[in-house]
Structure 1
Amino acid sequence: MADERDDDHRPPPGTSEQTVDAVGALTAAFEVVEHARGMLYAFHRLTGRADKELAEALDQLAEAGHQDLADELRAELVGRNVLPGRWTFQVVEAYDEEYYRVFEAAEQRVCDELMAGRRHVYEAGLKEQNRTHGRPGHEPTPEA
């Protein structure tokens, strides 16, 4: 059966299947990093939300007649660092600068050098192997 992948998803001429598999594994690892980064941003947003809700709860505690306790907890918790010297935005920035961008550049370099800049070549090969040729909903490309 003919390979109906578009040129953007076909391995460059002379590229071994072993190389395609290795690049696919590297891309899969980077996708996990993307997921972790999303979870880190969720952590950032949730922590900020918790801090805001804490401040509101302490306002309610003060209004209920517990001003001293509310003031003590506000001084201890509201605006507190989540890691030594860092709020969550600083954690996100450090992750982005020290890990994410380095990994992203490495994955791009491998795709550029070994796949002629083509992305998801491994996955496109899986699609070609697993789809039912000629069946609706199994077209090789969007325009097919």
Structure 2
Amino acid sequence: MTTDRSRPDLDDTTVEALGKLSEALETVDQARGLLYGFHQLTGKADLLLQDAVELFRKAGHGRLADDLDRDLVGRNVIADRWTFQIVEDYDDGYWATFRDFDSRARAEVAGGDRHVFEARMKQRERTAGHPRHEAGPALDD
């Protein structure tokens, strides 16, 4: 690892590739967050559904309550899976593989440095010597 995370030793195309890969991983992380939201909202919906079933039953609509309870409460959201299983498959497969490749790329071409593209952008866009524009940790002035 160099002290200058903008990595002047790397060519622009390599830095751009690292930046695109990092951006892609950040987008995958956002998708993962949405997937967890889907998981939580679906679970909440199932609990609300169970409340509705009990209220229908209490109101004398036993057949409807029984049908809802049998056919919808606890139902798989896709074939053979509840949402926690979808999240686990995503995490253990796609997300883990993506993270591994991001880590590999940084190790192989940038000595493990993260956010090289952004560090280079900061060096290019800041005003050296100006307050609030300091290089910061691991960037050279």
Q: Output the TM-score relative to the length of structure 2.
A: 0.89
1:10-35 per-residue CA deviation (whole Å, 9 max, x = no partner) reads 31x63211111111111111111111
2:6 aligned with 1:10, yes or no? yes
Match of 2:116 in 1: 121
2:24 aligned with 1:29, yes or no? yes
Letter in structure 2 aligned against 1:62: R
Aligned mate of 1:80, from 59, 75, 80? 75
**CA RMSD between the two structures:** 2.0
3-state SS of paired residue (1:7): coil
Match of 1:38 in 2: 33
Runs of 5+ unmatched residues, structure 2: none
Runs of 5+ unmatched residues, structure 1: 1-5
The separation in 1 between residues aligned to 2:28 and 2:63, in whole angstroms, is: 45
The separation in 1 between residues aligned to 2:48 and 2:61, in whole angstroms, is: 17
Match of 2:105 in 1: 110
Give yes or no for contact 2:6–2:116 (8 Å, CA) kept in 1.
yes
Aligned residues: 138
Change (3 A) 1:62 1:136: farther
Give yes or no for contact 1:8–1:118 (8 Å, CA) kept in 2.
no
Give yes or no for contact 1:8–1:119 (8 Å, CA) kept in 2.
no
Q: Output the TM-score relative to the length of structure 1.
A: 0.87
The separation in 2 between residues aligned to 1:33 and 1:59, in whole angstroms, is: 39
1:10-65 per-residue CA deviation (whole Å, 9 max, x = no partner) reads 31x63211111111111111111111111111111110011011101111121122
3-state SS of paired residue (1:110): helix
Give yes or no for contact 2:6–2:123 (8 Å, CA) kept in 1.
no
Shift of 1:8: 6.0
2:135 aligned with 1:140, yes or no? yes
Match of 2:14 in 1: 19
The separation in 1 between residues aligned to 2:61 and 2:4, in whole angstroms, is: 65
The separation in 2 between residues aligned to 1:111 and 1:56, in whole angstroms, is: 50
Change (3 A) 1:7 1:56: same
Change (3 A) 1:25 1:37: same
